[in-house]
Structure 1
């Protein structure tokens, strides 16, 4: 009878140990999962900014095109990807008469906070920037 009682107590102690391990590991696992989601979201944001900058640079460097058309193309790409709080900068200011061979730089920036999936604990006050440089045709 004494042997049965000791076996039963041993199982109870093991259950308590598993509960403590679970309580210690669960917050770390949750942080790891949400951190991975936020990092993936930041990579998606960076890719979207790169695509928008490339598309705007292609429009800005076409013969006869102006900066307004390039900015509109960047906005179209960014809106399609639901990117918020972005800014598009084209340098130098491109007009329809800008000479061929001029180097045009398009920079697109967006804050990670405005494009986060949840509370911004991981990338507070961070901004992602993408720059593309092309020669005007």
Structure 2
């Protein structure tokens, strides 16, 4: 009886010699895709936060007495290019000339992230990110 069991175990072992290789061939591409896609989602979220921070820095610059739209543009440029100088973005300051009296100032940063993604960006996530800050100048 013991000999029969020994043969049976040896037979089962021979049939499963390539099982690990086949399982890894299926699992590694899926795991690699999930890893790169999650890194892409993290990068997308980081870029959204950079755009929001750039709009905030532009609005803070606009609050300074005597500030110009060019200075607001420079503040936004400095914030975005510190992270990624290749991003395509547009800055809108409303009103076009910054008032010295009490008024509401709106700084909007529109950014196209479609050229900056690897897998997920542009295919599953919205590639156009816009952030607007409205501050009252007192």
Normalising by the smaller structure, the TM-score range is 0.7 to 0.9
Q: Which residue of 1 aligns with 2:97?
A: 94
| Structure 2 Cα separation of the partners of residues 11 and 129 of structure 1 | 59
**Residues 1-137 of structure 1 mapped to structure 2, 5 A cutoff:** 5-83=7-85, 84-95=87-98, 98-116=99-117, 118=118, 121-124=119-122, 126-137=127-138
CA RMSD of aligned residues (A): 2.1
| Structure 2 Cα separation of the partners of residues 89 and 12 of structure 1 | 70
| Structure 2 Cα separation of the partners of residues 50 and 111 of structure 1 | 14
- TM-score w.r.t. the length of structure 2 is 0.82
| Structure 1 Cα separation of the partners of residues 79 and 16 of structure 2 | 56
| Structure 1 Cα separation of the partners of residues 77 and 13 of structure 2 | 63
- TM-score w.r.t. the length of structure 1 is 0.82
Query: Is the 8 Å Cα contact of residues 63 and 136 (structure 1) preserved in structure 2?
Result: no
| SS state at 1:15 partner | coil
Query: Displaced runs of 4+ in structure 1, greater than 3 A?
Result: 1-6
When structure 1 is superposed on structure 2, of 122-131 and 56-65 the one drifting more is: 122-131
The CA deviation at 1:66 is: 1.4
Which has more radius of gyration? Answer: 2
The CA deviation at 1:2 is: 6.6
| Structure 2 Cα separation of the partners of residues 5 and 19 of structure 1 | 24
| C-alpha distance after superposition, 1:49-88 (max 9, x if no partner) | 1111000001112221111110111001111111411211
